[in-house]
Structure 1
Amino acid sequence: MPLLNKLRSGSAVATKPPTGLTRLRVILTVFFALDGFIFAGWVVRIPAIKEQTGASASALGLALLGVSAGAVITMVFTGRLCRRYGSHPVTVVCAVLLSLSVALPPLTHSAAALAAVLVVFGVAYGGINVAFNSAAVDLVAALRRPIMPSFHAAFSLGGMVGAGLGGLIAGSLSPTTHLLGLTVIGLLVTAIAGPALLHLQPPNPPAGRTDPEETPRRLDSRARRLVLVFGFIALCTAFGEGALADWGALHLEQDLDAHPGMAAAGYSLFAGAMTLGRLSGTTLLERLGQTPIIVIGGATAAAGMLLGALAPTVWLALIGFAITGIGLANLFPVAVERAGALAGPNGVATASTLGYGGMLLGPPAIGFMADWFTLPIALTSVAVLAAIAALIGYGTRTPRNPRLDSLQ
């Protein structure tokens, strides 16, 4: 009982975690980083793929819809797969599929064919995101610390490296060779990290926490509403991340006459700023709490994206992208962690599905707005949604929920 009281009071937070939990944290971090690396490697080659397929802005937007459509459809079922087979095997299988499918876009020569292969890529991307986020939520509960931002920092760091590498080789290496290289790297990393992950059992839920399989059936109406609220905040965040991933480089290159390498560096800078924000996320959550993180982050992202979209020079736009990355950094991990704490894998799946619904709406919406108005004006929609997330975070502030606080 004294030990249990110490854990509940937080006095044992500094205790060194068991070796198995530390290994699990390292391996999950590797998969988060690999996911970001592969995804960023793809997005920085979108301008070249657009030219290769001859697609208009709206046609490209519809083709990019394939990623989000595949992701959202898969996320609906991945929570069930994680409960049945475990989040670790699902993570490994999806990592293999993600690595293989990233090599397909350069093989297409029409917007329709591009959309078809991007559905496959989206299936893998959506599946791995639900699976390793579910595993991370269990680990957060076992460690009793809000470390979720550190995993998403690894995703952003992988994105920064992937985008930076893509920018360096964009002018000298074809998209086919580049993305095939990502396939080889992804399969090698999975071959090393996958067996280690499969040999580690998911951590047991802490005392007093319900079984994740039973949690979704026992949620009260307030908890269900909270899951949906967190999911909508994730939607606003994913819309912004997807917009900068899919359209940021094109905006810099097309509207501000940036060199292809500089255009690719725009997403790298965004991902780098997001990485820094997420690396400090655990400390900020422990000191400030969830609501200030959402409110301040949403407001900061809104201001940064207005600058990034409307700035008259490349350098000002890059500064705006960096500010946006800092602002958006911790909104998605906070939303997914809280939804998972309330409803287990189903909560992660719900928040992720709504979140990537933002990506589902984002590419075609921005593409059509770019045709109707201009791409800079279309990108201001990111600022609008970030501001809405901040308002929702402020409007739904409530006394601290013991069920949520048990993870902090």
Structure 2
Amino acid sequence: MRPPVMRLFPLAVFFTLDGTIFATWAVRIPAVKQQLGLTTTALGVALLCLSLGTLLSMIASGNLVVRFGTRVVLLTACALVSAALVLPALAGSVVWLAAVLALFGLFYGALNISLNSAAVEIEAALGRPVMSMLHGLWSVGCLAGSLLGGLLAGRLGTVAHFGLVAGTSLVLTAVCAPAMLRAPEQLPTVPLAEGIAGQAAEPRYGGRRLGLPVVIFGVVALCVAYGEGAVADWSGLHLREGLGAEASLAAYAFAAYNFAIAGGRLIGGWLIGRLGVTGVLAGGGVLAAAGILLTAWTGQISLAFAGLVAVGLGLANIFPVAIARAGALGGPNGVSLAAGIGHTGMLAGPPLIGFLADHAGLPTALSTIAMVSLAVAALAVLGRARTAPVSALRAH
């Protein structure tokens, strides 16, 4: 096995960068739509290409991590994602937009898998859970990116905005690369599944069978990914075109959502310790469903903001728990399988919501997020006895 990631600080920087890049793209989607004169259906197809590229990369990236090591894949993917960020702003047609988004998705999927695999390695090295905290920093990055987007929306064009973020990300990647690549002083003595499941288990890198529990966590991730992706892709457009919010105000709405999801993740360990994992997952699903219905159907911008905050708090800890458990059970390929299953939620989301928005209105389309959020709540309650014990998840 190649040397694992054992240094938390540079990994925290990369999680934050990933969130910033994602939010930078998300808050300027309305501007790109307007620039190219796209219908919501055409935009949905272009976003589908982004999701398809990401999904294909996720499927393959587990093997890349096993072969080349987490650190090499992480640094390479981060540099490529940063460089590719500017490409959507340069697209001159929907065909070119779809093509560059597919390329961006290929790089982004590899970054996603390597980041989460690195988080599993850090948990093994430290003997304590850090996945929720790192995902919280991803959300902090999203918050920073969306706030910056709101600040720059009326001051810089999309090319200049994307170029500024891409350049900064490349510089930070180069600065953190030496610390990430430096060989660890010693390999972790805690098996990968220990500290998460509370029981010793052999590390599962390389060839091994991935069982039903990994698939179940993938289905949970699927439901959450659909909701998170739909909020990122369409909430700004809903506020902008449906509620008449200014471009900067619509960006700040996404910032409010990211503030809530970041806060929820940063206190995720404490919440699960108090309420139990089933309570957090089920309660989070119900809260997210109520929040998105409020956002979709209210006529007031302030209530739409409140609804997005509720969605963020509800969804905050579901995805980190699912991916952490899949990684503990199956290493990088477990992360790859669960994240790949989960990402089909984002794959289905753009065309489905775009189609429903054109034929039934965006509020109706956004209401489908409530359905999948309630599915998470039902799965948390009904599937509790068929997955890992609660004690195995309580640390998250």
Give the TM-score category using the shorter length: over 0.9
Consecutive unaligned residues of structure 2, counting only runs of 5 or more, are: 192-199
Cα offset for 1:23? 6.9
1:278 and 1:164 mapped to 2: Cα distance?
A: 19
1:244 and 1:275 mapped to 2: Cα distance?
A: 15
Q: Is the 8 A contact 2:23 2:143 kept in 1?
A: yes
1:316 and 1:234 mapped to 2: Cα distance?
A: 27
Matched, 1:167 2:150: yes
Shift in CA distance, 407/143, structure 1 to aligned 2, threshold 3 Å: farther
Which among 265, 268, 276 is matched to residue 263 of structure 2?
A: 276
What residue is the counterpart of 1:316 in the other structure? 303
Q: Is the 8 A contact 1:277 1:326 kept in 2?
A: yes
Which among 213, 218, 224 is matched to residue 205 of structure 2?
A: 213
Which among 108, 113, 117 is matched to residue 125 of structure 1?
A: 108
Cα offset for 1:265? 0.8
What residue is the counterpart of 1:13 in the other structure? none
Which among 354, 360, 376 is matched to residue 347 of structure 2?
A: 360
- For 1:318-357, list aligned pairs within 5 A: 318-357=305-344
SS in 1 for 2:384: coil
Cα offset for 1:212? 2.1
Q: State the AA in 1 paired with 2:11.
A: L
Report Cα offsets for 1:149-175 as digits up to 9, x if no partner.
Answer: 100000000000100110111011100
Which among 385, 389, 392 is matched to residue 401 of structure 1?
A: 389
Which among 37, 50, 53 is matched to residue 70 of structure 1?
A: 53
Cα offset for 1:124? 1.3
What residue is the counterpart of 1:384 in the other structure? 371
- For 1:102-251, list aligned pairs within 5 A: 102-201=85-184, 203-204=187-188, 206-207=190-191, 208-214=200-206, 217-219=208-210, 224-251=211-238
Report Cα offsets for 1:87-122 as digits up to 9, x if no partner.
Answer: 111000000000000000111121111010001111
Shift in CA distance, 22/113, structure 1 to aligned 2, threshold 3 Å: closer
Shift in CA distance, 210/26, structure 1 to aligned 2, threshold 3 Å: same
Report Cα offsets for 1:267-305 as digits up to 9, x if no partner.
Answer: 111011000000101222334332222111111111111
Shift in CA distance, 227/315, structure 1 to aligned 2, threshold 3 Å: same
What residue is the counterpart of 1:48 in the other structure? 31
Q: State the AA in 1 paired with 2:188.
A: N
Cα offset for 1:28? 1.0
What residue is the counterpart of 1:7 in the other structure? none
Q: Percent identity?
A: 42
How high is the TM-score relative to the length of structure 1? Answer: 0.90
1:82 and 1:242 mapped to 2: Cα distance?
A: 25
Cα offset for 1:194? 1.7
Consecutive unaligned residues of structure 1, counting only runs of 5 or more, are: 1-19
1:302 and 1:274 mapped to 2: Cα distance?
A: 15
Shift in CA distance, 93/21, structure 1 to aligned 2, threshold 3 Å: closer
Query: Which deviates the most, 141-150 or 226-235?
Result: 141-150
Greater than 3 Å deviation, 4+ residue runs? 20-23, 200-203, 286-289, 399-408
2:156 and 2:140 mapped to 1: Cα distance?
A: 23
How high is the TM-score relative to the length of structure 2? Answer: 0.93
Matched, 1:370 2:360: no
Q: State the AA in 2 paired with 1:210.
A: E
What residue is the counterpart of 1:14 in the other structure? none
What residue is the counterpart of 2:194 in the other structure? none
Report Cα offsets for 1:63-88 as digits up to 9, x if no partner.
Answer: 01121111100011110011111111
SS in 2 for 1:217: coil
Cα offset for 1:360? 0.8
Shift in CA distance, 395/185, structure 1 to aligned 2, threshold 3 Å: same
Matched, 1:31 2:14: yes
1:375 and 1:135 mapped to 2: Cα distance?
A: 37
Q: State the AA in 2 paired with 1:204.
A: P
Q: Is the 8 A contact 2:6 2:125 kept in 1?
A: no
Cα offset for 1:403? 9.1
1:407 and 1:206 mapped to 2: Cα distance?
A: 16
Q: State the AA in 1 paired with 2:371.
A: V
What residue is the counterpart of 1:286 in the other structure? 273
Report Cα offsets for 1:293-318 as digits up to 9, x if no partner.
Answer: 21111111111111111111111001
Q: State the AA in 2 paired with 1:24.
A: R
Report Cα offsets for 1:374-398 as digits up to 9, x if no partner.
Answer: 0011001111101101100110112
1:236 and 1:402 mapped to 2: Cα distance?
A: 20
Between the two proteins, the alignment pairs up a number of residues equal to 384
Q: State the AA in 1 paired with 2:231.
A: L
Shift in CA distance, 285/254, structure 1 to aligned 2, threshold 3 Å: same
Report Cα offsets for 1:235-264 as digits up to 9, x if no partner.
Answer: 111111111111111000000000100011
